[in-house]
Amino acid sequence: MTSPSSAASKLTKRRGILLIVLAPVVFMLSGLFLANQVLHPPESLPYVLGLFLCFIVSPILLVLGVTVYVVAWRRQRKAEPEILTVREERLVQQDKPAKAKLQMPRWERWARRIYILTILVWLVVTAATFFIRLPLIFFPLVFVMPLIVCFYLKSSRRGWFGAIFILLISAITFFGALPSLTLFVGAPGVGFIDRYLDWAAGVDQLGGLVVLLTVRAAIIFSAGIFLVVARLLQYQKIQRLSGKKIFKAVAVGAVLLPLLLMMVTSSGETNADPAIVNPTGYGWGGAPNLLAPDFSFPQGTSRIFDEATGMWTYTLPLYNPSPVNLTVTRVWAGRDAIEPLQERVAVSGSGVRISDEGVVFETGCNGTIQFSIAQGHNTVTVNVDSGAQCTFTW
C-alpha cells in the first residue's frame, strides 16, 4: 500500500498533467477568435480575447502544469514509503470513514431551477414566435444546446467535466467563435443593442430571432459560469470564503457578467470607405419567393462616392426568379430608410417599374435600383412584399 504522501503526490502530478493538456486546448481555442479577421477585426472584443488566451493564458497553464508536475515528482522521490502488514492495512481500511456524498445546498438548487425556468420560457417564446415562419429542421439546431443545459441542471450533477464543457461551449458561442451553421447554431451574445436597433428599424432579416438568439447565448454562458462557481464552492477552503461580502459580490458579478456584456457591448457601424466600391458579401432569405442579386449585371453592385457633391450613390442589380411578381416595399442604408421610394429611387430594366406600393419586379425580370444619400453606410437591406429580404455588405 502506498503512503498518503505518495497518493497526494500522484494526485498533484495528475493536476500537473491536466494543466499541461489544457494549455494546447486553450491555444487552439484562441485560434477560433483569431483565424478570421473579417469576422473579428483586431479592435473587436473577441479578437482581444483570442490574443489573451493565446499569449497569456495558454503559456501560463503550460508553465504551471510543468511546475506542479516536477514539484510533485520530487516530493514523491523524497518521501519514504510506509510498509504496512496485511493486518495493519485491513485495520486502516476499516478505520477509514466512508466518504459522504456532498449534498447540494439549497441556494444552488433554487438557482438551478431559476436557470431551467428561464431557458424554458425562452424556448416557448422562440417556438411560438417562429414555429410557422421557419423550417422544422431549424428548431432542433437552435434548441439542442438549451436542452442539454436544462437536462444537466435538472440531473443534479456537480462534476467538473459537465461544468467546464458547458462553460467552454457557451463561451465560444457567446463571443462568436462558432460558425452560425453548427450543432449549437446561434448568434453571439455580444452586440445586443445593435441587434435590437436593427430589429426595431426593420432591417433584421429574421424579424427578432437574432435578438432572441443573443439572449440565449448570454443566459447559457451565465449558467456555465454558475456551474463552475458552484463546483468551486464544494471545496472546504473556498467554502470558508463564501461568507465574506467581497466573495459574494465577485461570485454574483461573475454570474451576471454575460448579461452585463450583452447590454453594454455595441459594435456600432464602421465608417464607409470610398475605396470599397463593390460589396464584400450578400445575403438573402426569409421567404420562398425572393429577389436575388443579379450577378450577370456587367458592373455589378456598386457604391460610389462623389467628392464634388459629397453624395454616395448605390446601384443594386436584382433578379426575380420567382413564379410571381415581387415588390420592393422598403430600402434601408444602414438603419436609414430610403423613403418615399417613388421620389428617392431610380429604376431601370425590362419588367421593372415603380408603383404606389413600391418597386415591382415582374417574374423572370431583372433590373437595377439606384439611390443617393449624404452619409455612406456599409449595409443596404431590401425588403420584399413576400417577407424576404436581400442584404448587401461592403
CATH code for position 316: 2.60.40.10
**Which among 74, 97, 120 is the end of a domain?**
97
Residue 12 lies in a domain: yes
pLDDT digits (tens, 9 = 90+) for 301-344: 889 998 888 899 999 888 888 888 888 888 988 888 888 888 88
Q: Write out pLDDT tens, residues 162-189.
A: 888 888 888 888 887 655 444 455 677 7
Residue 386 structural domain:
281-393
Q: Are the beta carbons of 44 and 176 closer than 8 angstroms?
A: no
Query: If you search the block for the grid coordinates 445546498, which residue do you land on?
Result: 105
| H, E, C per residue of 195-259 | HHHHHHHCCCCCCCHHHHHHHHHHHHHHHHHHHHHHHHCCCHHHHCCCCCHHHHHHHHHHHHHHH
Whether 274 maps to a domain, the answer reads no
Statement to judge: residues 189 and 257 lie in one domain: yes
Q: Are residues 291 and 350 in the same domain?
A: yes
Note whether 313 and 227 are same-domain residues.
no
Question: pLDDT of 200-225, one tens digit each?
Answer: 777 776 667 888 888 998 999 999 99
- Does 377 map to a domain? yes
Q: Higher confidence at residue 299 or residue 352?
A: 352
Are residues 44 and 168 located together in one domain of the fold? no
The predicted structure's pLDDT at residue 183: 42
In this structure, the answer to whether residues 81 and 120 fall within a common structural domain is: no
93 and 112 belong to one structural domain = no
Residue 376: inside a domain, yes or no?
Answer: yes
Would you state the pLDDT for residue 35?
A: 61
d(CA 341, CA 338): 6
Note whether 89 and 121 are same-domain residues: no
Total residues belonging to the chain: 394
The structural domain count of the chain equals 3
- Whether the pLDDT of residue 78 is over 90: the answer is no
CA distance 393 to 374: 18
Q: Are residues 235 and 128 in the same domain?
A: yes
Q: For residues 252 and 150, state if they share a domain.
A: yes
Same domain, 207 and 140: yes
Distance CA(211)–CA(125), nearest Å, equals 12
Do 161 and 301 belong together in one domain? no
Tell whether pTM > 0.95: no
73 in the same domain as 54: yes
